[in-house]
Chain A
Amino acid sequence: MKTDLWKVFSKMLILLIVLFYLFPIFAIALASFTFQWNEYGLPIKLGFSGYKMFWEMGEFRRSLWTSLRIAPLSVAMTIIVVVPATYAVYISRSRLLKSIADVIITIPLCLPALVLAIGLLQSYGSKPFVLTGTIWVVILGHVVLSSPFMYRSVLANLQVIDTKTLVEAAKSLRAGSLKTLVSVVFPNIIPGIVSGSLLSFTTSFGEFQLARMVSGFMNQTFPVKIWEASRRYIRVQFAMSFIAILVSLIFFIIIIISLTRSQLKEEKIVA
């Protein structure tokens, strides 16, 4: 009897926690389709006016495209910069280099994005590197902010599959360095790169502080515009928030499906 009660209790608890996380999302979804509210903040008339306004006001619509360009480019750049660096750190025998790399790559996690933004403005705001006002300065900032995630997940992946021994095995089979990298190292760290990319994408797509500081007028990102909408167009704000949730969700689902599909392919071979 006692254990039954405990089971019920723990199930309730889990349900409560799930609700705690889902409630704000549900609230946004509902609000985004609401035209009129009563005095308790509950909808009395539903409608698509928020979405309609979002679509009709070019500045908001454009900001979605800006963010949808910036996020994948940030992910791509993060992969290009961080993955080789992570591999170099992993393969290095110098403990000093490892600890220095660990510290440097973790700095963005401890630093307010605002501070980084000021740094970027100072570095790329004057000649010879004038990047301010373009999307590239935002991308640079986002690469820095998402580097720790990529670094950690790729490094963990390298360690889990014992890449050092795999590389030695490839060399003992007379593979050169390039062949080893392309056929052995890279294919086996794809899961780490994918989960790093997922975090990079959401970091970039949802980042506000830095984008607000450096993006300029022409390339304001989606979160920046959500903030603006929140001060002027309440309905647009809800619509945009729900769009943000959908974009992240879609991206997440695509990744999950592509990962499970590659696993299914393996399992099919047995059957």
Chain B
Amino acid sequence: MSEIKLENLSKKFGNVTAVDNVCLTVKEGEFITLLGPSGCGKTTLLRLIAGFEQPSSGCIRFDEAIVNEVPVEKRNFGMVFQSYALFPNMNVEKNIAFGLKIAGFTAGQIRERVKEVLGLVKLDGYEKRVPKQLSGGQMQRIALVRAIAPRPKILLLDEPLSALDAKIRVHLRTEIKRIQKKLSITTVYVTHDQEEALAISDRVVVMNCGRIQQIGTPVQIYNSPVNTFVANFVGSANLLKVRVRNRKCLTQNGLELAVSEIEGLQENEEAMLSIRPEFINLVDQNTTGTENTFAGVVKEIEYLGSVTRVKAQCGSESLMIDLKGEQIDLLPENHSVTIQIPAQKIKLLRIDNTLDAT
């Protein structure tokens, strides 16, 4: 197993900076996910680690040794691609044996190892199938075990589940996580799907515009986003521009909100207030008077199955509110409601003009 260290890594394509001064350490056996919208540089970063791209500046270390100049085939990692990339001219057994043969396994060892890894993804007996005869999910599982069969020190996955159906995606990500844990192999996983990132990672690296926005555990990323981009990209958030007044927050439209955490912000300073839609409550009309309650009107209702997303107008602010299934019956459109925003769930974020919230 191996540690990956990226030091001030940058990659430019012409005058476009795809990866901008990235510093990151992936610890031995750690599962790290690079998360971000398309074009944020996450795939380029992965390809730099693999050696498919050469960095413009900075350095990549595997276990302290600089590998910038080491060609792809000498770096000793396994990789899984979005398009599976199984060799169409070989059956499952030969696909898996390909890397094993190069790694110097004997014929007997190869047979044994192929059997062993197929068992790992419960595809025993699939040795003689050719890729054409496999479903997408099966192909990706074969691609996964083909990558890990020669026991590489690092596993890289480039949006491995993006081409699959929603159900299989959820099933397969659990499987990837289980196998990764079992082998405790250092893993870098690229995805644009925030739910996937939160579900499987030890730590998540949120990227935008080639830069790292935040590194943290899934809980940290979701509960304590450091800027508006992260707050908005991971999960959804209501973002309101506010000004600090008397240790409270005043929105541009005059709503006054009590918050529990305000340190670091000066009186009269502008900030971005973030509140997740699932933390906002709809309460009885007569509870007015408690903290952060406002009158509002239901504008739109979107039924999403496990939750219902309500868009409510509160003065001139529009708020997203997620309600559990049983609460929706009371809510016809244009119905007046009372909205309560718990102060301890409000996060205040510094306004950073260089970052575009998408």
Contact = CB atoms under 8 A, between A and B. Distances in A.
Contacts of B179: none
Interface in B65-105: 72-74, 76-79, 81, 83, 85-89, 91, 98-99, 102-103
A172 B99 CA distance: 9
A174 B72 CA distance: 7
Interface stretch (A21-29, A73-81, A183-191): A183-191
Contacts of B99: 173-175
A188 B89 contact: yes
Interface string A146-167: 0000000000000001100110
Given A172-B147, A266-B130, A269-B128, A184 B87 contact: yes
A210 B150 CA distance: 56
B90 to A, nearest CB: 8
B50 interface: yes
Interface in B180-233: none
A123 to B, nearest CB: 40
A270 interface: yes
B98 A175 contact: yes
B146 interface: yes
Interface in B101-153: 102-103, 128-130, 132-133, 143, 146-147, 150
B52 interface: yes
A174 B71 CA distance: 10
A166 B88 CA distance: 9
B83 A172 contact: no
A164 to B, nearest CB: 9
B128 A162 contact: no
Contact of B103 (A170, A171, A174, A179): A174
A187 B76 CA distance: 25
Given A266-B130, A266-B132, A171 B89 contact: no
Nearest to B146: A173
Contact of B73 (A176, A184, A188): A176
A187 B52 CA distance: 23
Interface in A118-160: none
B102 A269 contact: no
Contact of A162 (B83, B150, B156): B83
A110 B223 CA distance: 65
A165 B132 contact: no
B98 A173 contact: yes
Given A171-B72, A173-B98, A174-B74, A165 B87 contact: no
Question: Which of A171, A172, A266 has the most chain B CB atoms inside 10 A of its CB?
Answer: A172
Contact of B89 (A165, A168, A173, A187): A187
B150 A166 contact: no
Nearest to B87: A184
Nearest to A270: B133
A170 B133 contact: no
Contact of A169 (B81, B89, B102, B133): B81
Contacts of B79: 168-169, 172
Contact of A172 (B78, B86, B133): B78
Nearest to A161: B88
Given A174-B99, A174-B103, A269-B130, A169 B87 contact: yes
A166 B85 CA distance: 5
Interface in A167-213: 168-176, 179, 183-184, 187-188
Nearest to A177: B73
Contacts of B128: 269
Interface in B239-284: none
Contacts of B74: 174
A168 B102 contact: no
Contacts of B143: 169
A187 B81 CA distance: 21
20 contacts: A161-B88, A165-B81, A165-B83, A168-B81, A168-B85, A169-B79, A169-B86, A169-B87, A170-B98, A171-B52, A171-B72, A172-B147, A172-B156, A173-B146, A174-B76, A174-B102, A176-B73, A183-B98, A188-B89, A269-B91
Interface of A: 161-162, 165-166, 168-176, 179, 183-184, 187-188, 266, 269-270
Among all A-B residue pairs, the 9 with the closest Cβ atoms: A173-B99, A172-B79, A169-B85, A187-B89, A171-B72, A165-B85, A174-B73, A174-B102, A171-B73
Interface of B: 50, 52, 72-74, 76-79, 81, 83, 85-89, 91, 98-99, 102-103, 128-130, 132-133, 143, 146-147, 150, 156
Given A172-B50, A174-B102, A266-B132, 18 more contacts: A166-B85, A166-B87, A168-B72, A168-B81, A169-B85, A169-B143, A171-B52, A172-B79, A173-B99, A173-B102, A173-B150, A174-B76, A174-B150, A175-B73, A175-B99, A175-B102, A184-B87, A270-B133
